[in-house]
Amino acid sequence: MSTILLETKQRGRRVYLELQRLAKEPWLALSILAIFTLLALFIVLPLVKVFQMSLASGESSVAGGSVAMYKEVFQSWYMRKALVNSLVTGVLSALLAVLVGFIMAYTVTRVNVPFKKFFNLVSIVPVISPPFVSALSILLLFGNNGFVTYNLLGIRNFPIYGLRGLLIAQTITFFPVAYLSMKGVLEAINPALEDAAFDLGASRWRVFGKITLPLAAPGIASALLVIFIESLADFGNPLVLAGSNYPTLAVQAYLEITGMYNLAGGAALAVILLIPSVSAFILQKYWVSKKSYVTVSGKPTRSTVKSVSGAMQWILFAFCVVVSIVVLVFYGIIFVGAFSRAWGFDYSFTLRNFSYVWDVGYKTIVDTVTVALVSTPISGILGMFIAFLVVRRNFIGKGLMEFTSMLSFALPGTVVGIGYILAFNTKPLLLTGTLTILVANFVFRYVPVGIQNGIAALHQIDPGIEEAATDLGASSQTVFRRITLPLISPAFFSGLVFAFVRAMTAISAAIFLVSADWNLMTVQILAQVSSGRLGAAAAFSLILVGIILVAIFIIRILVDRLLGVKFETRF
């Protein structure tokens, strides 16, 4: 009892001191209030609007709310099939992508094989491309005029549409997420633990099952969660490959909104889509938080290379080679398609696809780059500042701020897009069709990654450095700008890069928000695919990837110059 009372007094004193600090620094109190306002406006309000519209008794009215729309959805066999398909695809995609990503990461970090840097590079290529490029590659390779099926094998109607093609596309698209997560986790595991088990006579399989795999559980759980949510919300791949015989909820919600203008029906489907996503998010968060995975206080200096036998070593190497070849073929075919005169019939070199893209899509390219350039610094700085507040400051509602800011991480893009068009379609918040709504979508959709990076980096920095500056009279604003931000510059860089890449490549939420005034390249690529202009779609994709690569290089230089800190970028 005395311990509890002591902890309560200490907590109360910390809150009291922080309130005194806020009184002395009104800008900090105003900043916290402004962040809460923005989170309520761009995360909570759209969710509330989706729930309200899903309970509407009519197509455009929320009066007399009921569950009639949900009954109508579940009474439709087609919608029930879409729900089952989405869940099955989400689970299978997550399992396959995590399996591929884990094997690649385990081989790179734990097995003595050649070409590790090459495997690492190949594994991150899909990250900087639109999520449905894999679907485009499948069409170019195995479609009706596919290079493999039609030209090499003479097969006209190869069964690539439906679950089979969708799983291939989503596995290639999402396995890099699992790879990056697994690579970081496996590198952090002290190999001395495995070496000790080997010295005590444990077999390789026992060491893997009892030590390596359990310690990698947080990364596996996180990767499963992210890919499951991404798969549920995936819009481009199902729209291109699933077809009417394999409906999914994300596509059906989009068609309800844009095709039939049934806002209530689309909102109801969005809420149904939201339930498994948020459930998975909460389950993963609390499951991981109740376990301890700490193994070392410093970074390992070497890797265990005897964790697999000689035969298994080359099996894993062969697996990585096959995955790398598949990735290179998928993205190499995009390059070939962009310079081909007529895909499936005439593969002669031409630049007319790029000429067409430049004539038709110049404004779209400018719009996309503008949106990314505006949203990226806002997202990066906001993420680091929220992380700073969560880790270094005590104030009323801190836990609520962290949870709300991270909530958008668990929201499928379809839900976010529908929520935004419902929340910002009338005065006084009439933002539909403007640059503001697109920027707000990308900032608050992807700021959780920056927050998580910032929190992880701040936990590794002794707070005494910042406290010393405060004792010398520096304000919280000065401490954050002159000390904290430079110290966490690698996390800041990662947040900026992620924000820019997603602003350039995301589609699931943005497709609801584009207009004649502001369009995005991903939406244009999808339109070209739907129209059968595969060469133009490939050219758009190459231009987009090229812009991203140049931007990453520029962002690194700017962060280095502005913060005066040199660091090594690691993927």
pLDDT in tens, 351-395: 999 999 999 889 999 999 999 999 999 998 898 889 888 887 777
Based on the domain organization, do 175 and 267 belong to the same domain? yes
Based on the domain organization, do 162 and 218 belong to the same domain? yes
**Considering the domain boundaries, does residue 61 fall inside one?**
no
Percent of the chain's residues with pLDDT above 70? 84
Q: For 349, phi and psi rounded to 5 degrees? A: -70, 140
Predicted local confidence at residue 80, as pLDDT:
87
- Top pLDDT among 16 and 329 is at 329
**Considering the domain boundaries, does residue 346 fall inside one?**
no
Predicted local confidence at residue 571, as pLDDT:
42
Predicted local confidence at residue 301, as pLDDT:
46
Total Cβ atoms within 10 A of residue 402 = 18
The C-alpha angle 429, 276, 510, rounded to 5 degrees, equals 35
**Considering the domain boundaries, does residue 344 fall inside one?**
no
At 71, the pLDDT band (50, 70, 90 cuts) reads confident
**Considering the domain boundaries, does residue 128 fall inside one?**
yes
Based on the domain organization, do 82 and 192 belong to the same domain? yes
- Both ends of the chain: CA-CA distance in Å? 48
Instruction: Look at residue 250 and tell me whether its pLDDT is greater than 50.
Output: yes
Based on the domain organization, do 431 and 301 belong to the same domain? no
Write the pLDDT tens digit of every residue in 294-347. 444 344 444 445 666 778 888 999 999 999 999 999 989 999 989 988 877 778
Q: Could you tell me how many residues make up the chain?
A: 571
Q: Which residues contact 179 (CB under 8 A, 6 or more apart)?
A: 100, 101, 102, 104, 105, 123, 124
Based on the domain organization, do 260 and 169 belong to the same domain? yes
At 61, the pLDDT band (50, 70, 90 cuts) reads very low
At 177, the pLDDT band (50, 70, 90 cuts) reads confident
114: three-class secondary structure by DSSP = coil
Based on the domain organization, do 514 and 562 belong to the same domain? yes
Q: Is 515 in contact with 371 (CB distance < 8 Å)?
A: no
- For the purposes of burial, counting CB atoms within 10 Å of the CB of 163, is it exposed (0-12), middle (13-18) or buried (19 or more)? middle
Predicted local confidence at residue 570, as pLDDT:
43
**Considering the domain boundaries, does residue 190 fall inside one?**
yes
With tokens 């897009």, the residue in question is: 417
The mean pLDDT value of the chain amounts to 80
DSSP 93-140: HHHHHHHHHHHHHHHHHHS--S-HHHHHHHHHGGGGS-TTHHHHHHHH
* Average pLDDT estimate for 151-170: 81
> Which CATH number is 443's domain given?
1.10.3720.10
Instruction: Look at residue 57 and tell me whether its pLDDT is greater than 60.
Output: no
Of 5-14, 117-126, 275-284, 513-522, the least confident: 5-14
Q: DSSP alpha helices (H): ranges in 234-351? A: 236-241, 249-258, 263-289, 310-338
Instruction: Look at residue 459 and tell me whether its pLDDT is greater than 50.
Output: yes
Domain boundary among 287, 319, 339: 339
* Average pLDDT estimate for 123-140: 83
Write the pLDDT tens digit of every residue in 194-237. 777 776 767 777 777 777 777 777 778 778 887 888 888 787 78
Based on the domain organization, do 483 and 514 belong to the same domain? yes
Count, in order, helices (H) and strands (E) of the chain. Answer: 26, 2
The C-alpha angle 531, 535, 537, rounded to 5 degrees, equals 60
Instruction: Look at residue 55 and tell me whether its pLDDT is greater than 90.
Output: no
Based on the domain organization, do 24 and 87 belong to the same domain? no
Instruction: Look at residue 182 and tell me whether its pLDDT is greater than 50.
Output: yes
* Average pLDDT estimate for 276-304: 57
DSSP 41-77: IIIIHHHHHHHHHHT-SSSS--TT--SHHHHHHHH-H
Domain boundary among 296, 313, 339: 339
At 58, the pLDDT band (50, 70, 90 cuts) reads very low
Predicted TM-score of the model (pTM) = 0.80
Distance CA 176, CA 571 (A): 10
**Considering the domain boundaries, does residue 516 fall inside one?**
yes
**Considering the domain boundaries, does residue 207 fall inside one?**
yes
Write the pLDDT tens digit of every residue in 339-349. 988 877 778 88
Based on the domain organization, do 171 and 96 belong to the same domain? yes
Based on the domain organization, do 108 and 197 belong to the same domain? yes
Range(s) of the domain holding residue 293: 66-339
**Considering the domain boundaries, does residue 506 fall inside one?**
yes
Percent of the chain's residues with pLDDT above 90? 20
From residue 167, give the alpha-carbon distance in Å to each of 131, 192, 231, 316, 525: 13, 38, 10, 22, 21
Based on the domain organization, do 409 and 488 belong to the same domain? yes
Distance CA 508, CA 340 (A): 29
Based on the domain organization, do 471 and 491 belong to the same domain? yes
Predicted local confidence at residue 124, as pLDDT:
83
Instruction: Look at residue 452 and tell me whether its pLDDT is greater than 70.
Output: yes
Into how many domains does the chain fold?
A: 2
Domain boundary among 310, 339, 368: 339
At 564, the pLDDT band (50, 70, 90 cuts) reads low
Predicted local confidence at residue 268, as pLDDT:
86
Distance CA 180, CA 123 (A): 8
